[in-house]
Chains A and B, each alone.
Chain A
């Protein structure tokens, strides 16, 4: 954990915590920089919370600036995203950069307008909120599981204690009920590391998205990128591990008359691609929808109290909204584990189909 804080602290040349100042520049901040401004935009608040960003919004007007890393045709750029707040432009070593209204990094010209060609040429490799949370999750998993492994080596045949005693049934569940059942007793050990990593990675990321306190609380699995990468990993594994019977069943299923094969084969080929795609959509949409529902009901308090003006509206809605939000949060805890389970189970079913031995049961 000390290493984590050193990583954050060393990578930021600017102040560790940046306060927003009142500026004349128009802002899209839903809290309203100008005192007395009562405009509450629920849509913007929701998008800000479930989207990725170059700084970490802690509370109120306090942001934690994260490092910006850009690969430009002229070279690399490192600076703190604190320079980019409120749409300000930053003069780097190889260009001037600003965040546009969709929070994407753009290269701007002298009078502030976006330079299309230069923007296409840069690669934004910043440590954004999601990237930092991914690193945090990986470190958390390493600490937990490497610690567990060392504990088992030290204890020998004795029963596990502490966190290991809680996680051991889960690990055995993934290995036996998911991997062994679907892949078969011959090949399952080869894929169990990937399935275990997948299960705990998704589960931990989902739970991190539900805890609202720093350093947790970033919506990683509800962003399309993370499930995309995981689904691509599954697709690559299934494609490269698949044995000949799998391809044969896909391209020319035995025992089917030729005219039906003409329709069936394209469908099977599409299915090979669509199945990982549904994995992606299922995880992404479930988690994102859960976060949006929570945020929408939370925003109801602000809407009913007219952003602080109407005390009656605020106090009347708060108990119901609080109770409902607690209930939805508990449901989201179930969904977090369930989506991890479904992703892992379906992945192992697809792998099991791919490495299945040819069964000779033609009558």
Chain B
């Protein structure tokens, strides 16, 4: 909080810039979330295929579906960051 106070005192007209910085930071954090989530999905899918190679098609389509759902949430955060940043 004190860092924010110092920043805003040094440049009192910078609140919009701070808001944009916050928005872009939020979008970056959402990218981290998406990376972790989809990485875990891909990892467990690969392990499952290794255990049972004949189930590859089933596992692959479920993996794509789960990845799309996780990306949906992350991209929602990105869209919010985009809206604020503009």
Q: Which residues of chain A have a CB within 8 Å of any CB of chain B?
A: 43, 47, 278, 281-282, 284-286, 288-289, 292, 338-339, 341-342, 345
> Do A345 and B75 have beta carbons less than 8 Å apart?
no
Residues of A within 8 A of B76 (CB): 278, 281-282, 285
**Which residues does chain B contribute within 8 Å of A289, judged by CB atoms?**
75, 78-79, 82
- Taking the complex as formed, is B65 at the interface, i.e. its CB lies under 8 A from any CB of chain A? yes
Some 10 contacts from A to B, beta carbons below 8 A apart, are: A281-B75, A282-B68, A282-B75, A282-B76, A285-B75, A286-B75, A289-B75, A289-B78, A292-B82, A341-B65
Contact partner, B79, options A43, A285, A339, A341, Cβ 8 Å: A285
Which residues from chain B contact A281 at a C-beta distance below 8 Å? Answer: 72, 75-76, 79
Say yes or no: is B64 at the interface (Cβ < 8 Å to chain A): yes
Check B72 against A278 for contact (C-beta < 8 Å).
yes
Across the interface, do B64 and A338 meet the contact criterion of CB distance under 8 Å? Answer: yes
Once the chains bind, are A284 and B79 in contact (CB under 8 Å)? Answer: yes
Closest to A338 in B: B68
Q: How far is the CA of A289 from the CA of B76 in the complex (A)?
A: 10
* Total A-B Cβ pairs within 8 A: 42
Give the distance to chain A from B79, nearest Cβ to Cβ, in Å.
4
Q: B79: nearest residue on chain A (CB-CB)? A: A285
**Nearest chain A residue, comparing its CB with the CB of B67:** A338
Residue of B nearest to A345 (CB): B65
List residues of chain B with CB within 8 A of the CB of A341: 65, 68
Majority-rule SS of B interface residues:
helix
Contacts of A345 in B (CB 8 A): 65
B86: chain A residues within 8 A (beta carbon): 43, 47
CA separation between A188 and B73, bound complex, in Å?
28
Residues of A within 8 A of B64 (CB): 338
* B25 in the interface (beta carbon within 8 A): no
In the complex, which residues of chain B have a beta carbon less than 8 angstroms from the beta carbon of A288?
79, 82
User: What separation, in Å, do the CA atoms of A122 and B6 have in the docked complex?
Assistant: 46
Tell me, in angstroms, the Cα distance from A282 to B86 when the chains sit together.
20
B65 touches A342 (CB 8 A): yes
- Chain B residue contacts of A339, Cβ below 8 A: 68
Nearest-neighbor residue (CB-CB) of A283 within chain B: B72
17 more CB-based (< 8 A) A-B contacts, given A286-B72, A338-B68, A342-B72: A43-B86, A278-B73, A281-B72, A281-B75, A281-B79, A282-B68, A282-B75, A282-B76, A285-B78, A286-B71, A286-B75, A289-B78, A289-B79, A289-B82, A339-B68, A341-B68, A342-B69
Q: Which residue of B lies closest to A292 (CB)?
A: B82
Per CB-CB distance, the 3 closest pairs between chain A and chain B, nearest first, are A282-B72, A285-B75, A285-B79
The complex places the Cα of A286 from the Cα of B75 at a distance, in Å, of 6
| Residues on A with beta carbons closer than 8 Å to the beta carbon of B71 | 282, 286
Q: Smallest CB–CB gap between A52 and chain B, Å?
A: 15
A286 surroundings in chain B (CB, below 8 A): 71-72, 75
Of residues 49 through 82 on chain B, the ones whose CB sits less than 8 Å from some CB of chain A are 64-65, 68-69, 71-73, 75-76, 78-79, 82
Please give, as numbers and ranges, the residues of chain B lying within 8 Å of A43 by CB-CB distance: 86
Q: How many angstroms between the C-alpha atoms of A76 and B64 in the bound complex?
A: 49
Q: Closest approach, in angstroms, between the C-beta of B72 and any C-beta of chain A?
A: 3
